[in-house]
Amino acid sequence: MSDLIGATGQPYAMEIERGKIREFARATKARDGSYLNDPHPVAPPTFLSSAAFWTTPASSALDPGSINWARILHGEQEFVFHGPPPRAGQTLVAQQRVEDQYEKEGRRGGTMRFFVLVTEFRTEDGELVAESRSTVIETSKAASS
């Protein structure tokens, strides 16, 4: 297994838009009315997961040839905020990196590869606003039907 720890994707900008906060809040059945009515609402805690819609293939810290995307599972997701959550009207600059990788034997045979990915979200001035930490699992065998 090649060592990908420390690999980074290209930075990308993510605009925090009021309408997208409203759509996300409705989709997740958020009960805080400020998401719908405030002219500059704070983004819901898991809103940063929508950063995936702002990425390009170059934004990924995982080289397309280093992983079999047909055998990927989403293992875990965590958000850490380093101050107030982002608000509508802000633009964040995000960059993903591979923080860790390891292997485990699967219960049904075969080896599973785990990749811990961290995406940092910073203001345009470089201040760290939040981090998204996710675990991606590549199975060695296709799921049986």
pLDDT tens, 50-105? 999 999 989 999 877 778 888 889 999 999 999 999 999 999 999 999 999 999 98
Rounded Cα distance, 70 and 91, in Å: 32
Element (H, E) at 36: helix 34-37
Beta bridge partners of 113: 103, 138
For the chain, list the domains and their CATH numbers: 12-138 (3.10.129.10)
CA dihedral of 45, 40, 16, 34, whole degrees rounded to 10: 30
pTM above 0.85, yes or no: yes
Confidence of residue 18 (pLDDT cuts 50, 70, 90): very high
Find all residues with CB under 8 Å of 58, minimum gap 6, and list them: 9, 10
How many alpha carbons fall within 13 Å on the CB side of residue 137?
17
Token pair recorded at residue 140 = 């060695």
Q: Quick one: average pLDDT of 11-20? A: 96
